[in-house]
Structures are given as C-alpha cells and as structure tokens.
Amino acid sequence: MNVMDLYKQWSTGISFDLETKAELLAIKDNPDEIRDRFYKELEFGTAGVRGLVGAGTNRMNVYVVRKLSNSIAQYVMSLGIEKPTVMIGYDSRNHSLEFAKEAAAVFAGNGIKVYMHSELCPVPAMSYSIRLLKCTMGVLITASHNPKEYNGYKVFGAVGSQLAPDDIEKIKEILDTLTDYSKIPGFDFEYFSNRGKITKIGVNIKNSYLKTVRRLVIDRNALSINAPKLKLVYTPLHGAGINYVPKLLKRLGFKELYTVKAQMTPDGNFPTVTVPNPEDGSVYELAIKLADEKGADLILATDPDADRAGAAVKNENGEYILLNGNQIGILLLDYIITTRKNKNTMPENPFVVSTVVSTRLTEAICKHHDIEYIDVFTGFKYIGGAINKHEDEGGKSFLFGFEESYGYLPGSYARDKDGIATCVLLAEVAAYYNAKGMNLLQALDEIYAKYGYHYETQVSLVFQGETGLEKSKEIMARLREMKNQISEMPVTNMIDYLASKKYVFGEEPVVVDIEFDKEDVLYYSFGDNWAVVRPSGTEPKIKVYFGAKGEDMDEAKEKAAKIKESVMATIKKLYE
C-alpha cells in the first residue's frame, strides 16, 4: 500500500482504536506529517526498534509492538525449543507498561511462556534475569536516553545480549511477511495472566541481581572504612535506577548519600531535564545544586533504563566537572586491575574488552599489566559476543568491558551495559582515592602520568530528509575509495572492516587480510593517533571519532584538533 492507502486504513479501519483514528484525522490536512508517519516502517536493528510514539507505521504504538511481537514469536517457535520462554520488562517512559503488556499477551497467545517484571526494569537486571531463568529471548520496552517523545522495543537473545546479525535477518524476513497491520492478531493480557501463561517476577529476582552487584566490590574491607567518609549525590533522572542504586550504596556503607528528590519519581515526561542523558552536562543542574549544599565529593547519574551511568567530580576549586565516558572507563579499569593484583584476586587468563572508537589508553594499561586486550566494534552486542567467545567457550576470565558512550560491564553475570554496577564501583574508586586525599580528577592525572596522556573527541554529522541515509552511504563509499587521501596529514595505515583489509602505506604500500567481524567502519592511523568513521546504519548519521597521544594533555589535545580539522575538511567536501 502507498502512504495515503495506509493512512486511510489506519484512520478509518475497524481494526484500529478510536484514539489512533482521532490522532490521524487531526492531521488530515497536513500531507507532510502523513507522509512522515507512513512512508516507511521503523527499522529493526541490532537493539530492536526505537522511534517517536504515535500513530503510523513509522511510529511506536501498540500495532507496531503487535507486529514485532508476533514476528519474534514466530521466530522463537521456529527454533524447535520444547518449552520456550520470553522475559518482558519496561522502563519509566510513557506507554512503556502498555507496550510491555501488549508484547506479553502476543507471546502468550502464541503459546510461549512469559515472565514479566512487576516493576521498572533496568537493562542490566533484564539481561541478568534472562540468564538466570534461562529464557529463550527477552524484550524490554525502552528508548534508553532518547527524548521523552520516543520509546522503543529492545530485544535480547538467550545469553542476555543483543541479537546476532543472523538472528536479526531471520526476524526481518518474518516481519516482511506481515504487511497488513489490520490482520495482525492482538491478545488479551488479563486473560493469559489469569491463566498462568504470564508470570510476574519481582523481589526474588531483583534481590538476586542486587546481591550479585554487591559481590563486584573489589576491596570490601577498605570500602567499609572509606565509604562513610565520602559524600555522594545520586539521580536516576526519573528512571529505573530509583529502586536499585540508592539501596546498593546505602547497603555498602555510604551513609552520606543524597538523592535529587525532584528526579526520584518515575516520570516518562522527564520534567526536570530536556533529554535524560547522563552524557549531557545540563542534566546535572539540580544534582550540582544539591551537591553544593551538602559538600558532596561525587555526583552519579543513570539514564531511564539504567544501562548508562555518568558522573561529575568536585575539583580543588569546588567546581563539579563532568567525566567523559573514556575517563570513567579508565578509572574503573585501572582500579580493578591494580586492586585485584594487590589483593591477589586476579582470575586466571583475564581479558578486557573495549571498542575501536574508545580510548587507546585501555590497551596501554592492559599491556602494562600483561592482560589480554580485545578490540570490538561499537555496540555492546560485540562486547557480549567477546565474553561468550573467550569466557564461555574459551575458558578465559572476563575482567571488564566498556565503550566510550558511557557503557560499562564489570562482570560476566550480564551481557549488556550496567549503569547500576558502574555507580557502585565508581563510588568505591572515589572512596579509595578520597581516603588518600585525592579526587577522581587527580586520580586521572596519576593514570595519565603512568601510562600516557590520551585525548579523544568526536563529531556527529546528521543528513536531513529522506535522502539522508543514502547520502551517508555515499560518503562512506567515497572515503573507502580515497583510502589515505582522507587527510593532508600522513596516514600510516587504514583498516577497512567491511572489506576485511588493512592498508599499510609507505614507500611500498602493503594490503593485508584481517580476521574481524564485517562492519561499515574505516579506521585510520596517524602514528600513535587515530580517526574512525562509521555510519549509524539505521539513521542518516555519520560519526567521526578522533584520538591522540601526547607528552602532556595539552599536546594530546593539540594533535587531536589537527587531525580533526584535516579529516573533517575532507569529509565536508564530500557532502557540500
């Protein structure tokens, strides 16, 4: 069907509810809005689906949830598992519970046993519970840190991580067969719930997860002494961390823990912030005000589904400085390694995983301590995949994994980012340094002085309109052809991960085959410095990452700025 046929079906058809019809009839004189809602369907990607809430095929609503759930149910049944089970959870966003119930009913209606969280469910608790109850798959209704207008449908596999590419393609094939939304069946949640086909899980699973996170503490004896001396402020940004982080921190002895009351109520409108993203410094405004009043040493924040955690540290001048994702990762990694070595609790054959767009300081720290370092692509599905391969199948011990976009995992109990555990461990690190008379910024300076000064920055390019996605693909193709001509600065080598080739440039250029997952990513080395270009895949966006190493931080920043200026000048010519 074309756009107007779809619009007519949704706005007048008997299969669609009155609220949906009213919403669509209100835009009958707005052809651009009609087109935007129906010219495509939401893209099913590595983490599922995410989009604006509203009526239409290009929006998140019960009919889209119904289609997704029926498709995944068919996929689950095709696996031939005798008694398949699916875990369902939801965050604090508007319509999350409604969409979760719709999904649960569809799975139950397809003969699949459903477990459903009875309260707000963070991403790490979702991943953990899937593994604990040995579920076939899981669905979490969340849009992470996106604006309030969004919601999403995040899909997990049996190991608690995002789906593998092969599984995604199989689900897409089923989705493509369900073309008529008016004929996709829905089911009654209460009917299946009353008949035991949907089982709500609550305090026992939650407590099991909380106990697991408490065990992540590296030096419990030192923490029992240091925790009471540290002043903390925490905000869940109206999200799922509310019922987890304060409970854990208090249990671990942080007596001077203060929470931002205005943000301690679950609210999908996120009324105190523009976007509930702990990467955004503006979300800390209320927390900083409280921290100033209490003289807090550290501010912690989690996003609505608590998979990401951010932090702000009070410096010597009493100002609160936001840590970036790489800095948090380095602080955690260095503390985990050095403390485990000092306590002789380092597991056998440890390994650390991070991404090709994250700081190279991770690799330097691991090399210094003779710990295996593994590079993967952006996205926690790759970190989860590395854990599966090297620990579950390879007999090694996963120590820590992180990506620069504020995602961290300090153990193999889950296969996705854990903002809750991050808060706990970062508080432990801060308490340790506080006992030494240092803040985390001073701790970072020590780390840089020991392993090298590294600086990272990035740029996002967004291309507007329906042709935006094609434009981003065209730019990637052009860059691939240009090879080392991306910059006026000499490129020592380039890795084309899509072609599985490494190009080494010199008097006699060499091309080497590499073994790595295939992704549309280009990695450029400028000696010790680097740049990475990658498209979004589902959005008309290209991200460009830069990193540099210097004798001091000023030199590292200067080098990164020069590479950024040169590379962006080349890319700019390709889209102007």
All domains in the chain, ordered by first residue: 40-206 (3.40.120.10), 326-417 (3.40.120.10), 453-575 (3.30.310.50)
- Which helix H or strand E contains 249, and what residues bound it? helix 245-251
The low-confidence residues of the chain, meaning pLDDT below 50, are none
- Which helix H or strand E contains 63, and what residues bound it? helix 62-78
Q: Which two tokens stand for residue 435?
A: 């006992």
Q: Write the pLDDT tens digit of every residue in 169-195.
A: 999 999 999 999 999 999 999 999 999
pLDDT of residue 348: 96
Distances, alpha carbon 456 to alpha carbons 186, 361, 553, in Å: 48, 10, 11
| CB neighbourhood size of 436 (10 A) | 10
3-state secondary structure of 248: helix
Q: How far apart are CA 114 and CA 187, in angstroms?
A: 13
Q: Write the pLDDT tens digit of every residue in 44-53.
A: 987 899 999 9
pLDDT of residue 422: 99
How does DSSP assign 461-493, residue by residue? EE--STTHHHHHHHHHHHHHHHGGGG-SSPP-E
| Pairing between β-strand 529-535 and β-strand 522-526 as defined by DSSP bridges | antiparallel
pLDDT of residue 526: 96
pLDDT of residue 507: 84
Q: What share of residues in the chain are helix, strand, coil (percent, to 5)?
A: 45, 20, 35
Quote the DSSP letter at residue 105.
H
Q: How far apart are CA 354 and CA 413, in angstroms?
A: 17
From the list 481, 327, 514, the residue with the least C-alpha distance to 408 is 327
pLDDT of residue 470: 86
- Rounded to 5°, angle at Cα 308 from 304 and 309: 100
144 is catalytic: yes
How does DSSP assign 371-390, residue by residue? -EEEEE-SSHHHHHHHHIII
* CB-facing half-sphere around the CA of 121: CA atoms within 13 A: 29
Q: How far apart are CA 386 and CA 379, in angstroms?
A: 12
Catalytic residue among 11, 96, 129, 144: 144
How does DSSP assign 283-329, residue by residue? GGHHHHHHHHHHT-SEEEEE-TTSSBEEEEEE-TTS-EEEPPHHHHH
Q: How far apart are CA 499 and CA 308, in angstroms?
A: 32
Nearby residues of 153 by Cβ (< 8 Å), 6 or more positions away: 48, 49, 50, 60, 64, 65, 68, 99, 103, 139, 141
Q: Which two tokens stand for residue 312?
A: 């702000």
C-beta of residue 245 within 8 angstroms of C-beta of residue 234: yes
- Which helix H or strand E contains 104, and what residues bound it? helix 96-109
| Rg of the chain over all Cα atoms, to the nearest angstrom | 24
3-state secondary structure of 69: helix
> Does the CA dihedral 88-92-95-98 come out positive or negative?
positive
Nearby residues of 543 by Cβ (< 8 Å), 6 or more positions away: 357, 458, 459, 460, 461, 533, 534, 535, 536
Determine the residue type at 26: A
From the list 307, 294, 389, the residue with the least C-alpha distance to 351 is 389
